[in-house]
A and B are shown apart, each in its own frame.
Chain A
Amino acid sequence: MIRDFGIVWEERGLLAQGLANTVLLSIVGALIAAALGALLAPVLAARLPLLRKAAQAAVDALRCVPFLLFAYLVYYGLPSLGVSLDNWSSGLAALGLYHAAYMAEILRGAWAALPREPIEAGHAFGLYGWRHFRRLVLPLLLLAAGPVLGNQVIQIIKDSAFLTIIALPELTHAASSIQSRRYVPFAAFLSAVLLYWALCLIVEAGVARVGRLAEARR
């Protein structure tokens, strides 16, 4: 068994490459999801009932679709509609679009739960528009939504593993290829699992830091 981990160590370059790709996928995926979610969140709170209901229905529907099927639809389905993406773009598109629905819902919830007083105080001091949003609303929003956003990022990291099925060379894919070439399944996949664990612990530590910051600013 020790020898098996030695073989995985010999293949550490491949594993590190997979880890780097998983991190890259998760960060870019999370950024796309956050940007789309931020655009979608105000629509979920729109005054026009028809618009609001349509957006809510779309978000609810997407949240009922398994991510893996969504990734298959993007990768194998879009070409039949004339849109051909390579595995990296379709993987990122799938991660970003799918999690945008969750991000929008998180941001809308945090927005609805914001205390009104500091926001109105900002208006009273003559802060309006973009400056008001950037200096007052955004920090409050991010501090309040921090833990839930962190959970979503962990979910994105875990969902990125599904992209191994469209042959993206991420961490699980690297472990699979080590196991198929060197026949060390236990050592290869356990190493991958431990690396995923480390990633999630890092995100959790970051979230705890944001939480302490929010506590200190209260």
Chain B
Amino acid sequence: MSWLDVLAILRGAVTTLTLSCLGILIGLPLGLGLAVIRWARLPGLAQVVAVYVSLLRATPLVTLLLLLFFALPELGLPLGPVPAAILALVMNTAAFNCEVWRAALMNFPREQYEAAQAVGMPALTRFRRIVLPQIARASLPGLFNEMSLLIKVTPVLAVVGVVDITRAAVRIGAESFEPLPPFLLAVAVYAPIVFAFVALQRAVERRHARREAAA
């Protein structure tokens, strides 16, 4: 494996990280929106969201990605590998984030919401100033956990031709007939990124536990 190959895998890492960040940035608020729809029990819509979440949580990312990549052009919406990859990541992570947000919403003390209502706070301000800061804090460990899971499934994106860490490693392995070194390097690039999110999650959990012990 030459320096050029190492560089190719690192360039793939930039792609992997960019796509992961995009997936997280879009999937996070989308998941919150879905959770609010279920929490507010919007008639009809809440049921649709419930089915969506159940279905998406059961769908392997490879299958979803292949569905989007091959089927959307058939429905008149041709997507390149990168947009298909982002869409698949967002659809997948939004469903999992929805469950994390929803758990926090269900545990939110109703009295606070009603108190804000009683002093005449408009609905949006109520949500933004009273509900969101508290549920965001409660959801943080679950959301970090979901981010680490999202990064762990990104090697799948190589299947439709996104040139990420995995595709770079597969190509180098095939050209050099020595697949072990590039795959080990790919693992060495992935593991610290995933570990960073796991460590973040644990740190937040510890801080919560300390706060609760103090309170």
Contacts and interface: CB of A to CB of B under 8 A. Distances in A.
B33 interface: no
A33 interface: no
A64 B74 contact: no
Nearest to B179: A76
B173 interface: yes
Interface string B95-110: 0000000000000000
B58 A66 contact: no
Interface in A186-218: 186, 189-190, 192-193, 196-197, 199-201
A64 B156 contact: no
Contacts of B26: none
Given A66-B153, A69-B186, A189 B191 contact: no
B186 A161 contact: no
Given A64-B198, A186-B71, A197 B159 contact: no
Interface in A141-180: 154, 157-162, 164-165, 171-172, 175-176, 179
Label chain B's interface by main secondary structure. Answer: helix
Interface in A45-74: 60-61, 63-70, 72-73
B60 A73 contact: no
**Interface size, B (range):** 35 or more
B58 A200 contact: yes
Interface string B51-79: 00011011111111011001100110000
B144 interface: no
Contacts of B70: 179, 185-186, 189
A64 B63 contact: no
B67 A196 contact: no
Contacts of A2: none
B59 A72 contact: no
A185 B187 contact: no
Residue of B55, B66, B152, B194 contacting most chain A CB atoms (<10 Å): B66
A154 B66 contact: no
Interface of A: 60-61, 63-70, 72-73, 76-77, 80-81, 154, 157-162, 164-165, 171-172, 175-176, 179, 185-186, 189-190, 192-193, 196-197, 199-201
